[in-house]
Amino acid sequence: MLNDKNILITGGTGSFGKKCTEIILKRYKPRRLIIFSRDELKQFEMAQVFSDRDYPSIRYFIGDVRDRDRLFRAFNGIDYVIHAAAMKQVPASEYNPFEAVKTNILGAQNIIETAIEQGVKKVIALSTDKAANPVNLYGSTKLCSDKLFVAGNSYVGHDKTMFSVVRYGNVVGSRGSVIPFFLKKKEEGVLPITDPRMTRFWITLEQGSNFVLKCFKRMVGGEIFVPKIPSMSIMDLAKAICPECKTETIGIRPGEKLHEVMVPVDDARNTVEFDDCYVIKPMFNYFGRRFCGDGCKPVPDGFEYNSESNPWKASAEDIRVMAEGL
């Protein structure tokens, strides 16, 4: 469905954007693939890998999701948008809260309104496990963003634009991820551990990108897609990555949880389970007419998808395979 289509990725020079670009250019033949981001240096570096000479469909647009006028120009003729741009560092968001709101919330509003005005067919916004029962500002802004994208389907009216959200856990190897941090600390022989009880969901960039592209085909607008992925304790992760290193407990950081949640218990009544994912359905009348529930079943009452009780536990070998090449 992506062949001969115009696709735009906001935050396209980030870890996800680069991997998704690689997959799209390898598997499909888009008419245009626009990388939209605000960092000219990152665009220059990415263009050394994906040049317009080797990939005639690719374009690099400087712009910020805070700037609605620039989005309006960039979205002209676009069929599909992947919204990956975000201010995502927890400490930076706590210290610069208004900036996080402008990018993650007002930026989401700009994306929604511009997509409708320009007749974009489908938009998928990337979310995070930290948006479920948030305890920090970053998670709170992403929860608000999720709500905006789901509600955007009602805001559309009689137009055809659809909005959905993909929510997943920690990405192996993304900027700021703990695995590259541990590998760097490996040289010192001691790994700082915030709390030995901590658990997290894990997904690779390739798995995340593939899941997002798959959701473009299955979405009808309003869903929050949550992939089934493994989780692992921070201690098991440390042993898998750096078995020869000692560990030092330094205490949990402000805004962190012991365990992450991707489907809160309060959302269970609106959640269905497929073989590969959970789908949190919106409480809108139109959705039931669009949604095909073939192959899914409701989750039980009191269900919660969290990294501690998740039955799929990653093994040390799983993590080592995920971390290959870092």
- What are the structural domains of the chain? 6-168+203-229+262-305 (3.40.50.720)
Sign of the C-alpha dihedral, residues 168, 172, 175, 181?
Answer: positive
What pLDDT was estimated at residue 211?
A: 98
What pLDDT was estimated at residue 14?
A: 94
What pLDDT was estimated at residue 293?
A: 87
Mean pLDDT of the chain: 94
Interval 53-72 mean pLDDT = 98
Order of strands, sheet of 271-273, starting from the edge strand that comes earlier in the sequence: 58-62, 32-37, 6-10, 80-83, 122-128, 162-168, 224-227, 277-280, 271-273, 297-298
Q: Is the pLDDT of residue 86 over 90?
A: yes
Distance CA 205, CA 17 (A): 9
Q: How confident is the model at residue 55 (pLDDT cuts 50, 70, 90)?
A: very high
Interval 50-57 mean pLDDT = 97
Interval 93-120 mean pLDDT = 97
8 versus 321: which is more confidently predicted? 8
Q: Is the pLDDT of residue 267 over 80?
A: yes
Q: Is the pLDDT of residue 182 over 70?
A: yes
324 versus 182: which is more confidently predicted? 182
Is 130 one of the annotated active-site residues of the chain? Answer: yes
Q: How confident is the model at residue 289 (pLDDT cuts 50, 70, 90)?
A: confident
Q: Where are the alpha helices (DSSP H) in the chain?
A: 15-27, 40-49, 68-74, 90-95, 97-101, 107-117, 137-155, 178-185, 205-218, 234-241, 285-290, 316-322
Segment among 42-46, 132-136, 250-254, 260-264 with least mean pLDDT: 250-254
Percent of the chain with pLDDT over 70: 99
Interval 285-305 mean pLDDT = 92
Q: How confident is the model at residue 325 (pLDDT cuts 50, 70, 90)?
A: low
Interval 308-323 mean pLDDT = 88
What pLDDT was estimated at residue 104?
A: 98
What pLDDT was estimated at residue 326?
A: 60
Q: Where are the alpha helices (DSSP H) in 169-245?
A: 178-185, 205-218, 234-241
What pLDDT was estimated at residue 320?
A: 80
- Active-site annotation holder among 19, 88, 130, 142: 130
Percent of the chain with pLDDT over 90: 80
Q: Is the pLDDT of residue 175 over 80?
A: no
Is residue 169 within 8 Å of 229, Cβ to Cβ? yes
